Chain A
Amino acid sequence: MAGTSTRPSLGSPVDLARAGEPPTEASPAELLDENARLRRICAALMERVESAGMAGSAPYSAFEHTVLLAEQVRERTETLQQTLAELHAAKGEAEAANVSKTRFLAAVSHDLLQPLNAARLFTSALEEHALPEPSHRLVGHIGRSLKDVESLLGTLVDISRLDAGVLAPDVAPFRAGQMLDVLAEEYRQMAAAKGLTLHYVPSGAVIESDLALLARVIRNFLTNAIRYTERGRILLGCRRRPEGLEVVVGDTGPGIPEAQHEAIFQEFQRLGGSRDVQDRGLGLGLAIVDRIAGMLGHPLRLDSRRGQGASFSVLVPYGQLSSASAGSALTAAPSGSGDQLAGTRVWVIDNDAGICEGMAALLSSWGCRVRTATSLARLEASAGTQVAEVLLVDYHLGEADGDGLAVAARLRERHPGLAVVVITANHDAAIKARSRALGYGCLLKPVKPLRLRMQLLSLVTTQGQGRG
């Protein structure tokens, strides 16, 4: 089969490009010869076709295989890139939807909090009035219902904020007692109402955390302890651990089976056992606790077995008080008598007329002399040359005045001794931090009358000392 017998191809070459055209005027010998060559071409092609596709060891097959592989890889890479692009777009849409949901929730809750705030202030003011006993009881019920609505709303807002990552912690050192004393006082009465005793062990340790968020965690522990304990006692205390202060809330309730220890930290999980008709929780409490603790980096612990009570704790790192904050105004003890605020001149600026009225009613009931206005210009117009000791200013004012801090700064130019409390519905830690830096108080909406009162008392006392 060596190509020795083939003649030169000048006459009629196998032109495979024009295979369809028959050679012209070929002799029989030429045709036979061409036929033989075509057979051999055919045989070679068949051999090739039949050996193709085998991942053989032949060098050309290796090359061919690599080429086909590269082609497949290229195609798959293209498909993959397209899929990735689609996923990326879908993720973008989902994120946008989430952001808009969070914004919507924040907007709705803000709008709801405003009238609720006003209603709470009115109710508090009404409670101060001398009313017939049945009416007084009704007012009390309204007040508690409003408080429930407020706390539920707050909880929902907080969960959405935590999920969206907009609630940034404002971490500072403080005395554990500063927070726990107030909580113990508050919950001792709630426990007593249910026939339980609250045993509180004070601690002098200094810890570092976000006071408001940590208080929220412990409030949740306390609320749960009271809710689920039918008889016995509640314990609030601290253990000094090497890695931090463990704040513990224990109870003598029914306990939590081990199998449910994780589930109770999820939303809308309630354990059976509460027959309290007053109980209107949504089962969101521990879900929030879990998120807050995660955000603050405070480990949570639950010790409980069925029938043996439960003990929830949170581990908070130790802190170091700066000398300035050691004697902070915040530690000023609240006083039961209303005399100290009597005669205090208070200016209120809030662009919501309802809030202004509510504030006026509440502050007047404490004996304050109140002047309210919906803008700086109106306040200046009505106040004339008068002065005041305290300014309560809403952070979010109409566009003409800038924010509450700017308004406060302008008023203090003319009234250097004016104490300022900024009130905001915005949970942004930056506003609180800026207020604190300027020496202003800062309260979150909805304003709780007790807090407002404590804030005012501490300001009046400090100012008194300052003047003396």
Chain B
Amino acid sequence: MLDSLAAVRGCPSRAIEGASLCTAVSRQRDPWAAADELAAALHHETLGFVLFFCSAEYPLPALSAALNAAFPEVPVAGCTTAGEITPQGYGRGCIVAIGLDRRDFAVSCALVEDLEGFDLLRAQHLVDGLLAECRDRAVAPLAEHSFALTLLDGLSSSEEQVLATLDAALGRIPSFGGSAGDDNRLAHTHVHAEGRFHGQAAVVVMINTLLPFEVFTTHHLRPRAEKLVVTRADRARRRVLELNALPAAEEYARLVGVPLAALDATAFARHPLAVRLGEAHYVRSIQGVNDDGSLSFYCAVENGIVLTAMQPAPLLEDLEAVFTGLTERLGEPTLIIGCDCFLRRLELEVLGQVDTASRLLAHSRVIGFNTYGEQHHGMHINQTFTGVAIGSRPR
């Protein structure tokens, strides 16, 4: 099953063969067959970079080898997912990819392997390197025409610090991204760069283009009146042991009205908790219940933080409104790269709205994946749809 958005649409204002952004999906289980299928769809004379998102079910070393063989001349970056967003909407167990034409996009890419030791000096060095590489091939002035995409190991527990540091180094360059997933097994998540998959690592991709773009984030959750205070936390393991001086899982179960034993990802998706900073609420998603009655989170927690109970508003209405706004500002998008929290997809599955969502995503030309957390301007956020929309006409 192949698809190429740009090939279907053509490139109206430019007489070129190939297209500035091609997309493809392969549902082949065999990594070699999958890589070949992607290459057949994406390869053209001026292909400059390939970005992919794949199911964690693939044998990863073999997939790396297959991708290296399929795109010998072109850098490839990507990560494992908790579900894919294909040209036809939500997918599972497959691999999606985006091919960027080097005439429209100058791309550079770097790998961070030591997340713990990623300090400002290293971040500055990394960003300088990315910008220098981009500058050599720049298709537009770097300032105002570049954004960074971050892909992080979603189980590394280092997102906040890495992102805050990286954001400081990026300065005014907007950034967004997602934490890699592993189909909700919570065991091993990986990012891919420099020819192979890496755990406990991050990939930063700098993209420079003359096409208009907008980095955005949205969620559909509204605050309720109830507040919970974290009275005991294990910050190193992102665990909350007590809420309101009571065992965390119990207190949470009581708040949301679900039996303790029935707490699962679906319940967490439907009843999120958030911290309020200024006027905005930032969801802190729960990963699971531990045997000691504590709750594990997908993001940093701290003793004394106040969590607000949240309730969902219609998810797809919110998303559609965001897409409409983007179209008004940028024109019809050529592509939206979307980092969509896997809990959102879980909620849609529970509500039986997956097909409707798939139609909206396909219609809006979204390619992306379901994440274990999203990144927006250096902030590690949860239960959002975060991404970049790329317009079609140079500004």
Interface residues of A, Cβ cutoff 8 Å to B: 1, 3, 6, 8-10, 13-17, 36-38, 40-41, 43-49, 51, 57-71, 73
Contact = CB atoms under 8 A, between A and B. Distances in A.
B39 interface: no
A6 B229 contact: no
B379 A60 contact: no
Contacts of A65: 164
B164 A62 contact: yes
B129 interface: no
Given A41-B231, A66-B160, 12 more contacts: A3-B232, A6-B246, A9-B246, A9-B250, A44-B231, A44-B303, A47-B304, A48-B304, A58-B302, A59-B235, A62-B161, A68-B278
Contacts of B1: none
14 contacts: A6-B245, A6-B247, A8-B250, A16-B228, A40-B245, A41-B229, A45-B306, A51-B304, A58-B235, A59-B160, A62-B300, A63-B380, A66-B164, A70-B378
B207 to A, nearest CB: 20
B51 interface: no
B282 A67 contact: yes
B245 A37 contact: yes
Contacts, number: 120
A353 to B, nearest CB: 57
Given A10-B254, A16-B229, A59 B300 contact: yes
A74 B358 CA distance: 33
Interface in B232-262: 232, 235, 238, 241-242, 244-247, 250-251, 254
Nearest to B277: A67
Contacts of B235: 58-60
B244 A37 contact: yes
Residue of A3, A14, A49, A67 most packed against chain B (CB within 10 A)? A3
Interface in B266-285: 277-278, 280, 282
Interface residues of B, number: 43
A135 to B, nearest CB: 73
A70 B380 contact: no
B226 interface: yes
Contacts of B230: 44
A46 B160 CA distance: 23
B167 interface: yes
A10 B238 CA distance: 27
B277 A64 contact: yes
A177 B102 CA distance: 58
Interface in B148-195: 157-158, 160-161, 163-164, 167
B301 interface: yes
Given A41-B245, A65-B164, A16 B231 contact: no
A49 B161 CA distance: 21
A123 B221 CA distance: 90
B326 to A, nearest CB: 18
Which 4 pairs from chain A and chain B are nearest by CB? Answer: A48-B304, A59-B300, A60-B302, A37-B245
B254 to A, nearest CB: 6
Contact of A60 (B158, B254, B301, B377): B301
B302 A3 contact: no
